[in-house]
Chains A and B, each alone.
Chain A
Amino acid sequence: MKYEKVLTKGIGEVDLTRIENYEAQGGYQALRKALKSMTPAEVHEEVKKANLRGRGGAGFPAGVKWGFLPDDGRPRYLCCNADESEPGTFNNRMLIEFNPHLLIEGILLAAYAVRAARSFIYLRGEFRKGYRVLMDAIEQARAKGYLGDKILGTDFSQEIVVHRGAGAYICGEETGLLSSLEGGRGEPRIKPPFPAVAGLYGMPTVVNNVETLCNVPFIVDRGADWFLSIGTEKSPGTKIFSVSGFVRRPGNYELPLGITLRELIEDVAGGMLPGSELKAVQPGGASSPVLLPEHLDLPLDFDSVQQAGSILGTAGVMVFDQSVCMVRTALYYADFFSHESCGQCTPCREGTAWTARILRRLEHGQGRPEDIEVLKSLRTTMSGTTICLLSDFSITFLQSVLKHFAHEFEAHIQGRACLAERPREVRSA
């Protein structure tokens, strides 16, 4: 089935990092339209009406989030969260590297709508190419009068500051991002107060994901009704799915929300690799609990996935086949989270490391029966007990495989053998 590309239109066909190519396919028209004919409130209203849900993982409606900013005369800031570091997720990176002007236009429109004094892009430090592309695009936009003082001759002025991270997953958490942007340790802050009330430098702040902001120009240009016509009723619009694992054609695919897992794997990604059988899927990055083959007909939208016991998250879809050992995968993630915890909160700091150490021993065939009980018990002491959600998310995959693949853990302890087939070389189809 063929779906209309929106955010990814032209990628792979024309060089959208050149502003003239972007303009040629209608770029910056939305900005022109908004600045010339719409008030900030109207832009905001349109986004609210479109029910644009945050693409960073939580799925919170962006328009509602913007509405939380208190109108008290303090300067407001807009931060674009471009610290994409969820394992298995690479959709923001594509947008930044191949369609930077869409992001810039989205930021400018959002900044206009929320009347931000200044905008920031918190860019994942490892995105070296993305940084060069963005900086170049910003200069191109400035040269054309889309950025800087009195944009397009209107009273609207805006600057975009690009700040590169230093390699910390936790800075993708919005308050961790703000702490880092201010020059401190990337440590999440206690909410409330939410960033909308006390964010960057204590001022009202909106933090939106790259993909969320990239949707704004189309909503402004084509209207909320058009946007609502795509996807499902409660999850309108498209989503870029980052598909990886044992499929024939891994990659980024922009599809309407609500497409089924089966369509995604079998049609879009070309099906499983020869000899691979679907064992499990993580629909939303490392933080998401597994879905099983029985979920193949599950529509991939925020609410359906949640009802199935997982999360759509970043839509980093990872497809596992029978060769994937769940103990080993859990260890891989545990190592990741025990490295990426900021260390503020006791349960996360100590719990992530403990989890990893227990799993390592299990993986090495020296597990003890009581290890399973300890791992299961962490579900209560590490969930809902910390400042941010890293602690919770660090064990969601583990808890789901402890439930669905308990026999693999038991086998590691009892038979000291891995039930998964020997890992194979991953071949491209």
Chain B
Amino acid sequence: MSEMVTLTIDGREVQVPKGTGLVEAAAAAGVEIPVFCHHPKLDPVGVCRMCLVEVEGQRKPVPACTTRAADGMVVRTQTPLIEHLRKGVIEFLLLNHPLDCPVCDKGGECPLQDNTFKYGPAVSRLTLPKMRKRKAVDLGSFIIFDEERCILCRRCTRFDAEIALEGNLVVAERAHLNIITTADGQTYDSYFSGNTIELCPVGALTSKNYRFKGRPWDMSGAPSVCTACPVGCNVRLDFRFGELMRVVSREHPDVDGGWLCDRGRFNYKYVNAENRITQPLMRRGEDLVPVSWTEALMEIASRWRALLRDYGGDSIGFIGGGRLTNEEAYLFQKLAREAVGTPHLDHRVGRQRVASWDRYPGRLTDIDDADVILLVDVLPAERMPVADLRIRRAAQRRGAALFSVGPAVPSYRVPHTAIPVLPGETAALLRQVAQRIAVGGPQDPQGAGQAGAGQDTAAPGAAAEGRDAVSALAASLVRGRKAVVVWSGEDLEAGLALRELLEAFTGQAGEARAAHVLIPGEQANSRGAEAMGVRPDRLPGHRPVAADAAGMDTGRMLQAAAQGQLQSLYIVGANVAETYPNGVLARHALAQVPFLVVQDLFLTETARYAHVVLPAAPFPVKTGTYTNMEGRVQAVAAAMAAGDSRTDGDIFVALAEAMGRKLIPSQQEFRWEVEHLFNTLGQDGFLPGAPWPTQTPPAAAGTASAGQEPAPAQGHVLDGSGADGAELVLVAVDRLYGGGGTGRFDPGFRDLQPKAEALFHPADAVALGVEPGDTVTLAAGLDALTLPVGVAATVVPGTVQVPWGAPGAAVNRLLAGAAWTRVRVRKRVLEEVG
């Protein structure tokens, strides 16, 4: 409990914690102090001067936002002087403000409007023409800036400088020429730019998607949870006449802190997109033709019944589940296990092997007071953007030691130590650090840094520069009391090594240490699907399946389908053709399987192979719960009519019914069933992580490469001029805007998908004789990609980076299921004509 102070505001005595700002203290006393520049999440700057109040003993009025409550302080906010000064500030702000409220997006929810009505003068005394500035300045991908409306409160630049910590926005020019702009005339490219629209107290920063599309009083808002990534930011969906018009933050302090990323905020137009499939489709020869729901469901039911009769239940495989609600995922596995009777089901459709871990449970708020933050094989901005804001702030404001280990280096403008490794070498490096901690002990951080030096020089992390970083990481873990690890959940060997590292960390003598592991799911509800038993080896609640009864995972199902051993695949909310890390196998399997049912919002690459396509409804239609990456269960209610599509859950129930089974006795009983499951599983609205590793060696549950232990990757650049080119290790990197039908089929978002390119380290580029502007062919196995060349110093030497989910460059074609793949790089030379 912090120290309390008592002060008097407008004659009302109020007690607040010491250090509280006067704006907040007044609010506690029931007194409103109008503000423009002040925002509770940003450092006070006191520039708008709207919040001036009189404090007894002070010669001049003071800004309430920058003044801290003190014991015995006497504050007056409603004196004639203050009323006069407020009128003055409003008059100044409106002098050159265009007052185009009738066509302004902000009109109706505008603090400038509201404060003018409450505190402003009725008329302006300006008898000169208003000064003009530029209208509709294109700031970046999502934002149009109206310089005339701007009142220079600087909330946007402060957000950029204090929260996003990116340094994109600046104030330029002086005096009345002050202007918000980007540094060096660059575009405002940030994953978080949309937050500035919400922060803007006037209509200066507007959304390209939303501007001039509606008025606030026309909107009906519905609380929801974002399904774009596993953070689960709380949002409000604003509909106008049934059409989703915008997504805004609905602050949950422990989840999103009031911020959204631009994918969550702006990637919503797919919900009402015309290219969304809204009718079931059935294959007639080459074509997929619209059919009725009855026809589609009957077709599936009769085909599956025939398969059950002829081949048995285990001739059908179920793939997907990470995009479903918890309840839908539960129904999905129930449909598989009870109605169809197959053990083959898996929600994992990409590289991720585990989406949670019962050891070292962590919450997003653990980042806030961590001493050490370690990123393992993960780029947080790409996988869990809003949670990355916590990481950045912890590193910048509290000096938390931020380290990253992995084959791709995150780009931070906050203090950050990168330990780049080649793919497959993460585990070795983590073990090296674990050893140093064990040897070093808390009394000897220096020794801890040096203990492991000199051994295992094969790892690139052991190179001179890397050794320093490894020492620094070990030393930080010796000094630190609380460590948060963010891990991709992909390379299980790295997971095992991580366990050793954290055991060494928490096992140190002296003060107690706490370690927390956060795993961002590959799909928004991967963790929920995992907990609901959408795995061949797990039942709901992480209960193990008897070893002899376990089914096939995604990789094995695809392999079996490719070899004609599976008769049908049912793929729900997954585009395995593009996401499974063996694109050749996935596509082959989809083409081979005799009966393919795909359930999705869009006609994805995977759906194009289908015999029957079922149109699923988008998330605003659904009622249920999602489990975010920390295990938090968050409820959503339907906010929109389904139309001709149906929710995934309804489809599962209807499918079972078509097969003559009742999946749920009644809605009420189903709710009880799920509630009971949640209650036995979790506490306080959190679901526990999956026990891991299980009895079965992890490799057995692994990918198609199961059994073959990947040898350390050795990238070596051959002479690039040779006909054979060179061999490098392929690193497929996550991109927030890459992949997913929601991005690709969104008319407001599809142009922003990452550009397909092959990124090289400068030294490798020189060795290969390539430079930006050139084109290279990357070949592996049976497939090849031709990509433009990029060069970046952050690329680990010996690797080539290609973004996931870039349109027209499905990088999974080059992967063969293993954690890493070598590709042959060849420069493309245009043959001279003539």
Chain A contact surface mostly:
helix
Question: Chain A nearest CB: distance from B169 CB in Å?
Answer: 13
- Tell whether, in the assembled complex, residue B49 and residue A346 are in contact, meaning their CB atoms are under 8 Å apart: yes
Interface positions, chain A 333-361, Cβ under 8 Å from B, are: 338-354, 357-358, 361
B201 proximal to A (CB < 8 A): no
CB distance from B119 to the nearest CB of A (A): 13
The answer on a CB contact under 8 Å between B174 and A381 is no
* A342 smallest CB distance to B (angstroms): 6
* Interface pair A343/B125, CB less than 8 Å apart: no
User: Taking CB as reference atom, which chain A residue is nearest B131?
Assistant: A353
Kindly identify, within residues 20 to 65 of chain B, every residue whose CB is under 8 Å from any CB belonging to chain A: 45-50, 52, 59-61, 63
The answer to whether B175 and A338 touch across the interface, beta carbons within 8 angstroms, is: yes
Verify if B782 is at the interface (C-beta below 8 Å from A): no
Contact residues in B for A358 (Cβ distance below 8 Å): 128
Does A154 make an interface contact (CB < 8 A)? no
Q: Tell me, in angstroms, the Cα distance from A370 to B125 when the chains sit together.
A: 9
Alpha-carbon gap, A60 to B89, bound state (A): 31
CB pair A385–B93 under 8 Å, yes or no, is no
Using known A-B contacts A370-B125, A381-B92, determine if residue A346 contacts B174 with beta carbons closer than 8 Å.
Answer: no
Task: Specify the chain A residue showing the minimal Cβ separation from B59.
Answer: A384
Contact A190 B63 (CB under 8 A): yes
Q: Are B85 and A385 in contact (CB under 8 A)?
A: yes
Query: Contact between A361 and B128 (Cβ–Cβ < 8 Å)?
Result: yes
Q: Mark A170-203, 1 if CB is under 8 A from B, else 0.
A: 1000000000000001000010000000000000
The interface residues of chain A lying within 8 Å CB-to-CB of B88 are 347, 380-382, 385
A5 within 8 A of B: no
- Name the A residues within 8 Å of B92 (CB-CB): 346-347, 349-351, 354, 381
Interface centre among A370, A382, A384 (most CB of B within 10 A): A384
Contact (Cβ within 8 A) A381 B84: yes
Interface centre among A350, A352, A354, A370 (most CB of B within 10 A): A350
**Complex CA–CA separation, A347 to B176 (angstroms):** 10
CB of B126 closer than 8 Å to a CB of A: yes
CB interface residues, A 349-388, toward B, < 8 Å:
349-354, 357-358, 361, 368, 370-371, 374, 380-382, 384-387
Taking the closest CB of chain B, its distance from the CB of A270, in whole angstroms, is: 38
A419 within 8 A of B: no
Find residues 249-278 in chain A having any chain B CB closer than 8 Å to their own CB.
none
Cβ contact within 8 Å between A350 and B63: no
Does A168 make an interface contact (CB < 8 A)? yes
In this assembly, does B195 line the interface, its C-beta being within 8 Å of a C-beta of chain A?
A: no
Among B45, B81, B175, max chain A CB count under 10 A is at B175
Min distance, Cβ B52 to any Cβ of chain A, angstroms: 6
User: What's the nearest-Cβ distance from chain B to residue A385, in Å?
Assistant: 6
Q: Is B66 an interface residue (CB 8 A)?
A: yes
A190-B46 CB under 8 A given contacts A168-B174, A350-B96, A352-B175: yes
Q: Are B131 and A346 in contact (CB under 8 A)?
A: no
Residues in B226-251 with C-beta less than 8 Å from chain A: none
Could you say which residues of chain A place their CB within 8 Å of the CB of B275? none
A344 to B48, CA, bound (A): 8
Closest to A378 in B: B88
With A and B bound together, what is the CA distance between A381 and B88 in angstroms?
6
How many angstroms from the CA of A349 to the CA of B47 in the assembled complex? 10
Residues in B whose Cβ lies below 8 Å from that of A168: 174
| Interface residues on chain A, size class | 35 or more
Give A339's nearest chain B residue, CB to CB.
B175
Q: B557 to chain A: closest CB distance in Å?
A: 59
Q: Give CA–CA (A67, B545) in the complex, Å.
A: 76
Q: How many residues of chain B are within 8 Å of chain A by beta carbon?
A: 36
Mask, B176-189, CB within 8 Å of A = 1, is 11100000000000
Chain A residue contacts of B177, Cβ below 8 A: 343
The answer to the question of B668 belonging to the interface, with a C-beta cut-off of 8 Å to chain A, is no
A385 with B176, Cβ < 8 A, contacts A343-B171, A354-B95 known: no
Asked if A340 and B175 sit within 8 Å, CB to CB, the answer is yes
Also in contact, A341 and B93, with CB within 8 A (given A381-B85, A387-B46)? no
B173 at the interface (CB under 8 A from A): yes
- Name A353's closest neighbour in chain B (CB-CB): B176
Query: Chain B contacts of A345 at CB under 8 A?
Result: 47-49
Give CA–CA (A341, B176) in the complex, Å: 8
Task: Give the one of A340, A344, A368, A382 with max B CB within 10 A.
Answer: A344
Q: With A190-B66, A349-B178, A374-B125 known to touch, is A385 a contact of B46 (CB < 8 Å)?
A: no
Q: How far is the CA of A381 from the CA of B481 in the complex (A)?
A: 52
Chain A residues with CB under 8 Å of B128's CB are 357-358, 361
Shortest distance between the CB of B204 and any CB in chain A (Å): 15
Known contacts A343-B176, A346-B89, A381-B88; A185/B171 CB under 8 A = yes
User: Among A185, A338, A347, A387, which residue has its beta carbon within 8 angstroms of that of B89?
Assistant: A347
Q: CB of B152 within 8 A of chain A? A: yes
C-alpha gap A168/B95 in the complex (Å): 25
Contact yes or no, B174 A343, CB < 8 A: yes
* CB-defined contacts of A342 to chain B, threshold 8 Å: 174-175
- Nearest CB of chain B from residue A357's CB, rounded to whole Å: 5
B472 sits at the interface (CB 8 A): no
Contact residues in B for A371 (Cβ distance below 8 Å): 127
B131 cross-chain contacts in A, Cβ below 8 A: 353
CB-CB under 8 A for A346 and B175, given A381-B85, A381-B88, A384-B61 = no
User: Looking across the interface, which residue of chain A has its beta carbon closest to that of B62?
Assistant: A190
A349 near B63 with CB under 8 A, answer no
Q: Which of A343, A348, A351, A384 has the most CB of B within 10 A?
A: A343
Q: Interface digits, B140-177 against A, CB 8 Å rule (1 contact, 0 not)?
A: 00000000000110000000000000000001011111
- Cα-based distance from A246 to B291 in the complex (angstroms): 97
A347, A361, A380: which contacts B49 (Cβ < 8 A)?
A: A347
In the bound assembly, the distance between CA atoms of A357 and B177 in angstroms comes to 14
B250 to chain A, nearest CB (A): 31
Residues of B within 8 A of A357 (CB): 128
Chain B contacts for A380, CB-based, 8 A: 81, 84-85, 88
Question: Shortest distance in angstroms between B466's beta carbon and chain A's nearest beta carbon?
Answer: 32
How far does the alpha carbon of A346 sit from the alpha carbon of B48 in the complex, in Å? 5
Q: How far apart are the CA atoms of A388 and B547 in the complex, in Å?
A: 75
**CB atoms of A349 and B175 under 8 A apart:** yes
Q: Take A347-B89, A358-B128 as given contacts and tell me if A384 and B60 are in contact as well, using a CB distance cutoff of 8 Å.
A: yes
Complex CA–CA separation, A67 to B238 (angstroms): 59
Which among B48, B92, B152 has the greatest number of chain A C-beta atoms within 10 A? B92
Residue pairs across A and B with Cβ atoms less than 8 A apart, 15 shown, are A339-B175, A343-B152, A343-B171, A343-B173, A345-B48, A347-B88, A347-B89, A347-B92, A350-B176, A354-B95, A381-B84, A385-B88, A386-B49, A387-B46, A387-B47
Binding site for A on B (CB under 8 A): 45-50, 52, 59-61, 63, 66, 81, 84-85, 88-89, 91-93, 95-96, 125-128, 131, 151-152, 171, 173-178
Nearest 6 interchain pairs by C-beta: A381-B88, A343-B178, A350-B92, A353-B176, A341-B175, A384-B60
Q: With contacts A339-B174, A349-B178 known, what are 13 further pairs, Cβ within 8 A?
A: A168-B174, A185-B171, A190-B46, A343-B152, A343-B177, A346-B48, A346-B152, A347-B89, A348-B175, A370-B125, A381-B84, A381-B92, A384-B59
